[in-house]
Structure 1
Amino acid sequence: MRIPRIYHAEPLVVGSEVFLNEEAANHVGRVLRMNAGQRLELFDGTNLTFSAEIVQADKKNVRVAVQESREECRESPLHLHLGQVMSRGEKMEFTIQKAVELGVNSITPLFSERCGVKLDAQRLAKKIQQWQKIVIAACEQCGRNRVPEVREAMTLEAWSAEEDSSLKLNLHPRASQSINTLQQPVERVRLLIGPEGGLTADEIAMTARYGFTDILLGPRVLRTETTALTAITALQVRFGDLG
């Protein structure tokens, strides 16, 4: 069996013993049914991975001994901040999961005029927590040791107005530039992905005022979740660590 990778939010120290958090303990002890003596790989959000051995395991608590560490940087040289107008149901979860696998560093859920998601403050807070758990699970699966942040949701204009030295890109079906025509080198990108119905003309004009460049992916109209992943992949191929 492949050695499970588990995220531990507190800093890890070689030679110490730690209890896994409730969710990780449930996964290791109840779902995987692992026992004392079996091995885990832990990571704590740094570029270090830690070999560990289970000391105690039951249905509620798992205690592990941290035995050794090694440095493993799996981050892309391209820093990507995804601004994603929220989509309905599982589409947003899918986008977040796959964006993390492709190397995105941070994600901001956005509200726009055509955003189909309507949530009160309490439900939105729960969604943010749920999306952050999806990020952690994606890191455990794909081997990333640094955990991207899902930021608090905000309006499209507030996000567009944030001061940022990154190259700002907005996907637009009638743009004249493509990712391949962008001038190198590019180290930081703020990528805007609109809702299922697209951005309004006023919103596109607003993003231009804040320094966003419209780019075109290709001749076909893509769904919002397809657009995000296609754009991230193309950026990683040109400026990052794919291909």
Structure 2
Amino acid sequence: MDLTDAVVRHLQARRLRSGDGLVLFDGRGGEYTARLETLSKRHARVLIEDFIPREAEAPVAVTILQGISKGERMDYAVQKATELGVARVVPVVTERCMVRLDAERWARKQRHWQAVAVAACEQCGRNRIPPVDPPCSLDQALQKVAGQHGVIFDTEGDRSARDLVPGAELATLIGPEGGLAPGEIETVSAMGWQRLRLGPRILRSDTAPVAALAVIQTVIGDLG
């Protein structure tokens, strides 16, 4: 079996040699043990040996509606969310979002963020790749998670994270650098989303999804 250019570069970075064993996955669950037959600058071929039906997904499927931040902050948010078991990332152009691009450049951004998620799966041992959706408005994002239990972490929240409701699907909204506008918080509150207090400190846009997912996975997921 011949491998893609991206995988070839990954193997070269890992300094693997012909004859070494490795584990492959196709993003749809389970993984394959394999043996590296040849590796050159632009080509790699492996022998598939066995399929292992291992799963590494969290028991709660969390969708993050992530307000888009500038530069590496968004990359970091996608990477760490993937490592912490996020099921889906929806980049959202919120009211205070500082990034404004045309459709073509948004498409390039979406492909880049999806590649970040793939690389994070390779690093952390996940074998199902969480999709990163094309950027959209908050209204469009909320339509995508209609029917899911929603939570928003807010310094003025009136409930504790211990009050998280267990369930198979959950959505949370994270603001960009400037945070969420009051009207956006009111919108999700009116939809019945829980406003949970995550301490008295305001977290950065790339710290907030990490903290939120860590709390969710500890209280109702598989970190506890």
Task: Give your verdict on TM over 0.5.
Answer: yes
Q: Which of 13, 23, 26 matches 2:6?
A: 23
Tell me the CA shift for residue 96 of structure 1.
0.7
Name the CA distance, whole Å, in 2 between partners of 1:101 and 1:33.
23
Q: Which of 161, 183, 205 matches 1:224?
A: 205
Name the CA distance, whole Å, in 2 between partners of 1:222 and 1:32.
34
Percent identity of paired positions between Structure 1 and Structure 2: 36
Segments of structure 2 that go 5 or more residues without pairing to the other structure are none
Report SS of the residue matched to 1:150: coil
Partner of 1:207: 188
Residues 138-170 of structure 1 deviation map (CA, whole Å, 9 limit, x = unaligned): 111111111110011100122123353221112
- Contact residue 164 and residue 219 of structure 2 kept, 8 A: no
Name the CA distance, whole Å, in 2 between partners of 1:26 and 1:198.
37
Higher relative contact order (CA 8 A, sep 6+): 2
- TM-score scaled by length of structure 1: 0.87
Name the CA distance, whole Å, in 2 between partners of 1:201 and 1:119.
24
Question: 1:239 is matched by which residue type in structure 2?
Answer: I
Alignment of 1:130-145 (within 5 A): 130-145=112-127
- TM-score scaled by length of structure 2: 0.94
Name the CA distance, whole Å, in 1 between partners of 2:222 and 2:144.
27
**Superposition CA RMSD, Å:** 1.5
Q: Report whether the alignment pairs 1:101 with 2:99.
A: no
Change (3 A) 1:192 1:177: same
Q: Report whether the alignment pairs 1:42 with 2:24.
A: yes
Q: Report whether the alignment pairs 1:170 with 2:158.
A: no
Residues 67-111 of structure 1 deviation map (CA, whole Å, 9 limit, x = unaligned): 111121111101100100001111111111111111101000000
Name the CA distance, whole Å, in 2 between partners of 1:32 and 1:235.
33
Question: 2:186 is matched by which residue type in structure 1?
Answer: A
Name the CA distance, whole Å, in 2 between partners of 1:32 and 1:161.
42
Aligned length: 224
Segments of structure 1 that go 5 or more residues without pairing to the other structure are 1-17
